[in-house]
Amino acid sequence: MSSLWNNRISISIFGESHGPAIGVVIDNLPSGEFIDVDELGRFMARRAPKKDGTTTSRSEKDLPQIMSGVLNDRTTGTPLCAFIQNTDTHSSDYSNISKLARPGHADYTGALRYKGFNDVRGGGHFSGRLTAPLCFAGAVCSQILERRGIYVGAHILTIHNIKDSAFDNVNVSREDILDVRYKEFPVINDKKGKLMFDDIQNARMGGESLGGIIECAAINVPAGIGSPIFDGLENSIAQLIFGIPAVKGLEFGAGFNVAKMVGSQNNDDFYVDERGHVKTKSNNHGGILGGISSGMPITMNVAIKPTPSIAKPQETVDYSNMTNEILNIKGRHDPCIVPRAVPCVESAVSIALLAHMIDYPNF
């Protein structure tokens, strides 16, 4: 499977949703970096299921066991391997649908690609469960970045038709990022968050699911990081973002709104600030020009689809017998995965940024 990302830093994710464990191997991290294990756990807890009715009832502690690459809380420079045990699996929930193509899932395409030998329990290797090792890798990378003053933060921008306040894409600060990071429901405007929460509960009770948009920003990334054409910052971030199941769209800066603008509206005028730094008055470019950081905040929106597993009957096929069927999905599923995807987006961005920052002088 193509679960290896290799671009200066390599990230290899392994395991299945209902296997004994999942995990990640991270190679080419700088040596001697202090890793705060308690902070790793705190970061990963943001992705874990909650007991508030907005997520699956599957209860996994997601406590990573670091097998190699760290000694006395410092990276050794050799591959960092971490295991996360699966302890709360209900594989019997999938016994009657092993040959049914669940709408919105990769059951059918996975069966074609792997000749029917793929693990379908809980989605197998296609499951959102595999974002736990991604978050571990991202949490490690974010600690290394934050020691250099680079912060990555995200929040729920929209769920369904309800919209949170947005980051100031020119002046988003460290405080803005940290203010939302460890909220139980990661929004800027808590009143909007309550409306989103209630909407998710209504969807759950109606046998439905909801999607949304996550806004992410990275600040204090120095200008000049990245490369043009195929190795740009946008390219690397996009590869990792689309490794998160349920991501269906990504836009940087003003994104698709640039299609509605004329050149003078879209272009960001340059100026030198009072400290002698080159900046832009607006940030439609999202902090990246020609694949290279401009020094402005790197901003993006990530679209997350509604959870495909819903309680309503759905039409499908039995692809072993080539018959039409009606599917009733059992099991434990999030009515909205957007809140749990917030740290996943941060993780993807942190990995991509650290990979490019390794080339930066005196990193």
- Under the banding of pLDDT at 50, 70 and 90, the label for residue 118 is confident
pLDDT in tens, 151-177: 999 999 999 999 999 999 999 999 999
Mean pLDDT value of segment 29-58 = 84
pLDDT in tens, 4-26: 999 999 999 998 888 889 999 99
Strand order in the sheet with 21-27: 4-7, 9-15, 21-27, 80-85, 65-68
Residue 327 is predicted with a pLDDT of 85
Residue 190 is predicted with a pLDDT of 98
pTM of the model: 0.92
- Per DSSP, the residues of 146-171 read HTTT-EEEEEEEEETTEEPPPP-TTT
pLDDT in tens, 207-245: 999 999 999 999 999 999 999 999 999 999 999 999 999
Report the CATH superfamily, name and number, of domain 4-357. Chorismate synthase AroC (3.60.150.10)
Share of the chain above pLDDT 90, in %: 72
pLDDT in tens, 58-98: 455 678 999 999 999 999 999 999 999 988 655 555 556 67
Residue 92 is predicted with a pLDDT of 56
Q: Which two tokens stand for residue 31?
A: 């040596």
Q: What is the dihedral of CA 167, 170, 176, 178, to 10 degrees?
A: 110
Mean pLDDT value of segment 318-328 = 88
Q: How far apart are CA 357 and CA 295, in angstroms?
A: 13
- Average pLDDT across the chain, whole number: 91
Q: Which two tokens stand for residue 357?
A: 């920052």
Residue 170 is predicted with a pLDDT of 98
Residue 19 is predicted with a pLDDT of 83
Structural domain boundaries in the chain: 4-357
Local structure of 278: helix, strand or coil: strand
pLDDT at residue 183 tops 70? yes
Q: Which two tokens stand for residue 17?
A: 């949703």
pLDDT in tens, 134-151: 999 999 999 999 999 999
Mean pLDDT value of segment 96-123 = 81
Residue 309 is predicted with a pLDDT of 87
pLDDT at residue 253 tops 90? yes
- Under the banding of pLDDT at 50, 70 and 90, the label for residue 57 is low
